[in-house]
Amino acid sequence: MLISAILRTKGSQVVSVAPDATVASLLTELARHDIGAVVVARQETLIGIVSERDVVRHLRRRGPDLLAAPVSDIMTSDVVTCVPEDTVEEISEHMTRHRFRHVPVTSKGRVVGIVSIGDLVKSRLRGLEDDRARLEAYIHGT
């Protein structure tokens, strides 16, 4: 299955914040949208990604003052992306190997979606369920 199929199902909405937004405002966006990560963009250009994990790790080091800091202080700027034509299997393997949970999807230099490890697992489970149903139909001659 391709990443584009996941985007067709979940949609292509991408929540973003500016690099100078505060960590407190980032947390507000994460909670409001019930998501685990957002892209950091300047004038629609992807410059980073930041997740709940980033906040927790930096909060431990810096304490509550972190909430007033800019998102750019804690974001990952070397962002791994994928394209709609990548397979779920390729991206799942890459995410597992490198231990990250969210990947922006880009096309022609623009962010067109974001996929999480949960999205990929759900997709793979759906594929396995479809395979099982086809095998059962074959076995029962239907």
pTM across the whole model: 0.85
- Total Cβ atoms within 10 A of residue 123: 22
Residue-level pLDDT at 132? 79
Q: List the one residue out of 58, 36, 78, 91 whose CA is nearest residue 15.
A: 36
Residue-level pLDDT at 88? 92
Residue ranges in the chain whose pLDDT is less than 50: none
Domain chopping of the chain, boundaries = 3-139
Residue-level pLDDT at 54? 95
Q: Which residue has the tokens 């992807």?
A: 46
Residue-level pLDDT at 77? 94
Residue-level pLDDT at 129? 75
Domain 3-139 has CATH 3.20.20.70: no
Residue-level pLDDT at 15? 94
